[in-house]
Amino acid sequence: MGVYHKPIKSKTSGTGGKRRKSKDKQLAHWGSPFTATKISPKGREVRKNVRSRGLGRKVKLKEATFINLLTKEGKMIKAKMSNVLETPANRHFARANLLVKGAVVQTDAGKAVVTNRVGQDGVVNGKQI
């Protein structure tokens, strides 16, 4: 089921009169469910291609193993992730090993913070901290 993103006004006006709908919900205002990208325990990467508005395409990453990591020296390396340490979006995401932007993950090269929107880009990019 999708998520409806249009704000809904209250059913009564400020003076107590009833408000009537001027139009129905539109398909343009519906979003898609949260991707919930996890760190893969089996060491595989699972992607799903999704059509977006205007015939655009998004690659949703369902399971991830590796992160494109920018080191402190300014060099890009590919590192393996082991688990999510903390997440500013929701503390329960860290327990479930869900990857979101801003999540702090443990990698082979040390701690890193995720810098991209993983569920919409199809890859995991990060910066070493």
Q: List the domain boundaries for the chain.
A: 34-128
Residues 6+ apart with CB under 8 A from 53: 28
Q: Do β-strands 57-64 and 46-51 pair in parallel, antiparallel, or remain unpaired? A: antiparallel
Q: What is the pTM of this model?
A: 0.76
Name the residue among 77, 79, 65, 61 with its Cα closest to residue 123: 61
Beta strand extents in 45-114 (DSSP E only): 46-51, 57-64, 66-70, 76-86, 98-99, 104-107, 110-114
User: If you search the block for the tokens 């390396």, which residue do you land on?
Assistant: 77
Taking 70 as the pLDDT cut, the residues of the chain under it are 1
Residues 6+ apart with CB under 8 A from 7: none
The answer regarding whether domain 34-128 maps to CATH 3.10.20.590 reads: no
